[in-house]
Structure 1
Amino acid sequence: MSDIFGKPLQQIETTIPGLVLFELPVHGDSRGWFKENWQREKMTALGLEDFGPVQNNISFNDAVGTTRGIHAEPWDKWVSVATGRIFGAWVDLREGPSFGVTFTAEIDPSRAIFVPRGVGNSYQTLEANTAYAYLVNDHWSPAAEYAFLNLADETAAIEWPIPLSDVEISDKDKVHPRLAGVTPIAPRKTLVLGAAGQLGLALRARLGDAAHVEYVTRAELDVTSPDLPTARRWRDYGTIINAAAYTAVDVAETAEGRAAAWGANATAVSALARVADKHGITLVHVSSDYVFDGTGHGEYAEDAAFSPLGVYGQSKAAGDLAAQTAARHYIVRTSWVIGEGKNFVRTMASLAERGIDPSVVSDQIGRLSFTEDIAAAIVHLLDVKADYGTYNVTSGGAALSWADIAREVYRITDNDTARVSDVTTAEYFANATTPVSPRPLNSTLDLAKITATGFTPRDGAEALVAYLA
């Protein structure tokens, strides 16, 4: 046993993505030994995501050569031994390019291994009285999807220390399929809310119709319903993208609109955050420049203090605070969203075509956010596993007024830009007969943080030309 003492805590990457071997410090003396078998703070500091174990299982094996597996479950495992020693074999049974990749290692009390969801797990005991332990982050369910691989599969070609013909194997393990007959475990599902909206449509175009991506409208899933916690088998989901929102800025100033805005933009987000946090789901929530009052100079960074002016902005700020309660969250803050359907750019292009000369607000400054780019940024953050938090996402380039953008639309569509007249916000709404929400005059967002992750926002002028084309 002396060779297990004195190792520093370290992680060792393996040939299987996400399968990480750990060396564990073991401290011993004449009385025996002690180790921290799972220490959340230290493990996460090394880069292992806090996988949220909910159950600890122990399998005691009294004979050398006890052989079990190869089983892949839809949850993560932290595998170790309390006494004895095993030869472990892991085969990636997840859908993707690493399907079928194999890794083997011996595990004694000074080692542990993190086995991600969908990686087949198996072992053979090398010592009598081996206590094999594993933490898991979900409870067993007959409704879950499992995958099994035959221990003698020729493709995996595991070199078992003790020939399989000389060990005891369960009847079930003997009849598991070869690799060619295994149905890969699909990724955890992605749920897109607000699928019929501008951003929802852009996300569908970006993510496609893969089997693990689900698109729903509020009519199909009411996230404010008390049944939300049981509306899905949430452990099967890895990501929720909340592209749903109440965006009728002026109607939100009415009694009916106020309730609707708070319901969709705050209450619903709070419910989603609770579900996401309970089940280890990454919540992506879309924010707005309206959480600021627009009186600041320069560009608003992600950590600028909230100061919303109207009901819509207040409800969005509350939604941001709710989203932050989920441990795994991305808040994507945008401004002046342009996508498929009715929007400012389409309206200006229509006015130009019909020969109408508009008066357009010139004292509100910001950048357009094209839904195509917002969708791309969301996928980027998820793909590169960027640090959780808030990210501003708009077009790049110079900040412009609505009037400047209107003139650009007229120019691109070969119309006289002089036909667009400037007007102040106060003048534009001077004769309004229905409630009007106050607007931030400066909506320019700082893009340094999203750029630092490797995502380069498109130049706004170029994006506008492409959109109108």
Structure 2
Amino acid sequence: MTGTGGLVVSTTPIPGLLVLDLPLPGDARGWFKENWQRGKMVAAGLPDFGPVQNNISFNQEAGVTRGIHAEPWDKYVSVATGRVFGAWVDLREGPTFGTAYWHEITPGVAVLVPRGVGNAFQTLEAPAAYTYLVNDHWSQAAQAQYTFLNLADESSAIPWPIPLERAVLSDKDRSHPRLADVAPVLPRRTLVVGASGQLGRAFAAHWQGRADVDLVGRDRLDIADPASVGAFDLSPYGVIVNAAAHTAVDAAETPEGRREAWATNVDGVARLVEAARRHRATLVHVSSDYVFDGAAEVHDEEEPLSPLGVYGQTKAAADRLVQTLPEHFVLRTSWVVGEGRNFVRTMADLAARGIDPAVVDDQLGRLTFASELARAIDHLLTVRPAPGVYDVTCAGEPSSWADIARRVFALTGHDPARVRGVPTAEYYAAQGRAEGDGTIAPRPRSSVLSLARIEATGFTPADQDAALEEYLRG
């Protein structure tokens, strides 16, 4: 039970079903109430559920009984006049399926009914103006997603004050099934965008046993293409994981690459943000160490953004877009290694071919294996800490690229001394190029990210040396 300023929010045996006692100041002339006051109610513990439609059911006589209907949105119910007996049954898949709760509703009481919980009421004092806010617009297609339960269901054992045989019911409400014949309301689905990339493939492996996850590649959903996004139905999804990105950091410095990077990393993310807001979905977005200039030895989530190149600028812009959503997780990461061609595989190949590489030794960071990033995202979606930005990499002592190359050589049975460490400027000068010349993106010298915030949620990042050894064994 929480409260502020006379407003009290109480929990019930049905998860997410909340009862509000509303202040009802008045005098001889009547009373006044703030039936919906977002700021006060959120502060008192009500979720910011974002209503978009207000409906009123006017009931002319006592005994009018309606329900039990589980709808594909959240409802906030109260009465403006009269008095009703409210009853709810959890029809969502899970351990509380079938749990019932009832409570009398007067003008000084309101109830938040989450999606998938069956809602019903019986008029006790008429006329009764039963009001409800919902956070999606009614449509014929939405109504087709309703789930129904019979008002007389014996297992729910709702103690209707006016026996149903004397109540006023519609024929439809009389014909609804008993609980044993009700198909539970399934949770909203999870969508992974960018399934063909390193992170997308890691999710395919990590969530392979889940039937509620859809992974789509660019052939089905290209976030850079407005027509593709417009044609894709995002309404079934309660979670959208954005693993799609333009990651060619050097190509992004060219005129064509700059346009492509902005089209995917900013415009595309803006479309996902709009969809997540419209459908009340949690958006998970993967960001980058490139949003920083690398001047700080360790970057935490509160550091001001300071990108050096075009890729970093697009990722920084996307971070800010995603952070406008009430439900979001931005995961900043670095040096991602997954399935396919990557730095680790390249070093292992060079070692096997007898080539002794020159590798940059003045950029510091930690590897992040795509499987570890998928595990961190799964953790956040399960634990549900406060929305915001979370840095995620492997743990352990920071290394240079040259250090990692030497570990790869050693782990694959080759002499690590064959790797020659060189400064970034020398590495590119040998190719006739330089950072900032239009062909090479400037790199942050330190990509070390603080792991304190993600660890505080109960997540323990894998040690990068142990993860590297396991990766090479696989």
Q: Provide the TM-score with structure 2 as the length reference.
A: 0.93
Other-structure match for 1:61? 59
Aligned ranges 1:104-253 → 2 under 5 Å:
104-144=102-142, 145-208=145-208, 210-227=210-227, 230-253=230-253
Separation in 2 of the partners of 1:353 and 1:14? 63
Other-structure match for 2:436? none
Separation in 2 of the partners of 1:367 and 1:271? 31
Other-structure match for 2:257? 257
Q: Residues 324-347 of structure 1: CA distance to partner in whole angstroms, max 9, x if unpaired?
A: 233332211000001111111122
Other-structure match for 1:310? 309
Does 2:99 match 1:101? Answer: yes
Other-structure match for 2:462? 458
Which AA in structure 1 matches 2:308?
Answer: L
Other-structure match for 2:272? 272
Q: Residues 418-458 of structure 1: CA distance to partner in whole angstroms, max 9, x if unpaired?
A: 22221111121113257222211100011111122222222
Other-structure match for 1:364? 363
Other-structure match for 2:453? 449
Does 2:290 match 1:290? Answer: yes
Shift of the alpha carbon at 1:46? 2.3
Which AA in structure 2 matches 1:262?
Answer: W
Separation in 2 of the partners of 1:233 and 1:86? 38
Which AA in structure 1 matches 2:450?
Answer: D
Q: Which moved more, 1:207-216 or 1:93-102?
A: 207-216
Aligned ranges 1:313-392 → 2 under 5 Å:
313-392=312-391
Separation in 2 of the partners of 1:223 and 1:151? 45
Q: Is the 8 A contact 1:357 1:421 kept in 2?
A: yes
Unaligned runs of 5+ in 1: 1-5
Shift of the alpha carbon at 1:391? 1.1
Secondary structure of the equivalent of 1:429?
helix
Separation in 1 of the partners of 2:327 and 2:282? 5
Which AA in structure 2 matches 1:94?
Answer: R
Q: Is the 8 A contact 1:138 1:235 kept in 2?
A: no
Q: Is the 8 A contact 2:74 2:113 kept in 1?
A: yes
Aligned ranges 1:48-87 → 2 under 5 Å:
48-87=46-85
Separation in 2 of the partners of 1:209 and 1:12? 36
Separation in 1 of the partners of 2:233 and 2:138? 12
Q: Is the 8 A contact 1:7 1:23 kept in 2?
A: no
Other-structure match for 2:441? 437
Shift of the alpha carbon at 1:376? 1.7
Q: Residues 375-422 of structure 1: CA distance to partner in whole angstroms, max 9, x if unpaired?
A: 122122222222222111111121111111112222223332222221
Q: Residues 27-58 of structure 1: CA distance to partner in whole angstroms, max 9, x if unpaired?
A: 12111111111110011112322111111111
Separation in 2 of the partners of 1:21 and 1:352? 65
Q: Which moved more, 1:431-440 or 1:126-135?
A: 431-440
Residues 230/355 of structure 1: CA separation in 2 closer, same or farther (3 Å cut): closer
Other-structure match for 1:3? none
Which AA in structure 2 matches 1:455?
Answer: F
Shift of the alpha carbon at 1:71? 0.3
Separation in 2 of the partners of 1:261 and 1:465? 33
Unaligned runs of 5+ in 2: 434-438
Q: Is the 8 A contact 2:222 2:229 kept in 1?
A: no
Q: Is the 8 A contact 1:74 1:236 kept in 2?
A: no
Separation in 2 of the partners of 1:271 and 1:262? 13
Secondary structure of the equivalent of 2:248?
coil
Q: Is the 8 A contact 1:7 1:26 kept in 2?
A: no
Separation in 2 of the partners of 1:330 and 1:295? 25
Secondary structure of the equivalent of 1:100?
coil
Separation in 2 of the partners of 1:370 and 1:342? 13
Separation in 1 of the partners of 2:301 and 2:5? 42
Separation in 2 of the partners of 1:101 and 1:119? 10
Q: Is the 8 A contact 2:221 2:232 kept in 1?
A: no
Q: Is the 8 A contact 1:369 1:394 kept in 2?
A: yes
Which AA in structure 1 matches 2:101?
Answer: F
Residues 277/451 of structure 1: CA separation in 2 closer, same or farther (3 Å cut): same
Secondary structure of the equivalent of 1:220?
coil
Separation in 2 of the partners of 1:233 and 1:134? 27
Shift of the alpha carbon at 1:128? 2.1
Separation in 1 of the partners of 2:370 and 2:54? 44
Secondary structure of the equivalent of 1:129?
strand
Q: Residues 75-103 of structure 1: CA distance to partner in whole angstroms, max 9, x if unpaired?
A: 00001111222221111111222222211
Separation in 2 of the partners of 1:7 and 1:62? 34
Question: Matched residues, percent identical?
Answer: 60
Separation in 2 of the partners of 1:432 and 1:267? 34
Separation in 2 of the partners of 1:280 and 1:228? 20
Secondary structure of the equivalent of 2:126?
coil
Shift of the alpha carbon at 1:60? 1.5
Separation in 2 of the partners of 1:229 and 1:34? 45
**C-alpha RMSD over aligned residues:** 1.9
Shift of the alpha carbon at 1:228? 6.1
Q: Is the 8 A contact 2:83 2:124 kept in 1?
A: yes
Separation in 2 of the partners of 1:31 and 1:53? 30
Which AA in structure 1 matches 2:399?
Answer: L
Separation in 1 of the partners of 2:180 and 2:197? 41
Secondary structure of the equivalent of 2:350?
helix
Shift of the alpha carbon at 1:149? 0.8
Other-structure match for 1:32? 30
Q: Is the 8 A contact 2:65 2:169 kept in 1?
A: yes
Residues 32/178 of structure 1: CA separation in 2 closer, same or farther (3 Å cut): same
Q: Which moved more, 1:231-240 or 1:301-310?
A: 231-240
